[in-house]
Amino acid sequence: MQIDRFTNKLQEALSDAQSIAVGNDNNRIAPAHLAQALLQQQGGAVSTILSQMGVDKDALERGLGQLIGDLPKIRNNNGDIQLSLDLGRILNLADKHTQKIGDDFIASETVLLALMDDRTGVGELLKISQIQSEQLSRVIEQMRGGETVRDSNAEDTRQALANYTIDLTDRAERGKLDPVIGRDDEIRRTIQVLQRRTKNNPVLIGEPG
């Protein structure tokens, strides 16, 4: 599998996973290494998703640390480190799911979904953390807002939007917007314009309030 098919964030996580493996004297990058790297990644999708799902990330990280601590250790491996067969299988699963949903690049959240099927302990640890595949898929779809991953910067762009913009549609759905009072005519006019098949962009003008 070519690494240039991964998003930039996923490539960074793989590099971090390699560092974690080397730091623990492991000669293979295992699913637990990548899971920990994704969880610890600053501005990463995985941490955001797990927070939205109410997962105890500290407990999950401790569990991953225990899995990594149980992996075979090889002293002085001179940095000669490769992907484990189990991690290769996880990335292949992520690749298949990527193609299924129409993404052009494999994203971090897709790997998280694939990790649910891990057999080395990560999958079971995620389930113990009350994560279910169906719920995870729904949260990912909501986070993406119907968008697909078309370029390697997609995760960075998405995070920038989350940091520097406000989703007014989401706020309206949750009843978080203040009501508009005394602008009935303007609202009615805006609705009329929006209902046209061809239309100009509506602009509300006048004194605030």
Read off the amino acid at residue 77. Answer: N
CA 28 remoteness from chain centre? 24
Q: Is 190 exposed, middle or buried (0-12, 13-18, 19+ CB in 10 A)?
A: middle
Half-sphere exposure of 147 (CA within 13 A, CB side): 13
Per the CB < 8 A criterion, the answer to whether 8 and 156 are in contact is yes
State the pLDDT at residue 190.
Answer: 82
Instruction: Report the Cα 49 to chain-centroid distance in Å.
Output: 6
- pLDDT given at position 1: 67
Burial zone of 164 (CB within 10 Å; 0-12 exposed, 13-18 middle, 19+ buried): exposed
Percent of the chain whose pLDDT exceeds 90 = 62
- Predicted confidence (pLDDT) per residue in 32-59, tens digit: 999 999 999 988 899 999 999 999 999 9
Q: Where are the domains of the chain?
A: 3-169
Q: How far is CA 209 from the centre of its chain?
A: 39
pTM: 0.77
Structural fold of domain 3-169: Double Clp-N motif (1.10.1780)
pLDDT digits (tens, 9 = 90+) for 47-104: 999 999 999 999 999 999 999 999 999 877 676 789 999 999 999 999 999 999 999 9
